[in-house]
Amino acid sequence: MAPLTPAVFHVLLALAPGERHGYGIQKDVLEHTGGAVRLGPGTLYGTLQRLMALDWVEEKIVRGAAADERRRYYRLTKTGRKSLEAEVQRMDALLKTARAHNIVPRGTKG
């Protein structure tokens, strides 16, 4: 499988813990990346549209006190979760290779 684009990866990762609405995904991505990645609304909803067409993400009707009923919530499908896991596995293999070549993050070298 081809590597996922950064936007697709971040959206899938934000949806991994459970359903989120669009702005929730944006805030999660900003938090996960320490403010380095800000998904604009056009990029976010364009990505969600593609992921829904691929059947990796689906809409979920959420009711209850915590839910904002004006919003649309999205969640991962089984296929979406499998794709995310495959991407994480690919990244993990790359990290192992990098470590084998003694490439370690800055500030952790002895």
Residues that bind other proteins (CB under 8 A): 21-23, 26, 38, 40-43, 45-46, 48-49, 52-53, 55, 58-59, 70-72, 77
Alpha carbons within 13 A on the beta-carbon side of 73: 13
- With respect to other proteins, which residue has the nearer C-beta, 42 or 105? 42
Torsion, Cα of 26, 32, 37, 38 (10° steps): 20
Q: How far is the CB of 6 from other proteins (least distance, A)?
A: 14
- With respect to other proteins, which residue has the nearer C-beta, 61 or 100? 61
| 22-32 and 41-53 helices, crossing angle to 10° | 110
Residue 105 and residue 11: Cα distance in Å, rounded?
25
Residue 75 phi, psi dihedral angles, 5° rounding: -145, 160
Q: How far is the CB of 46 from other proteins (least distance, A)?
A: 5
- With respect to other proteins, which residue has the nearer C-beta, 62 or 88? 62
Q: How far is the CB of 1 from other proteins (least distance, A)?
A: 21
Quote the distance between the C-alpha of residue 87 and its chain's center.
11
- With respect to other proteins, which residue has the nearer C-beta, 81 or 90? 81
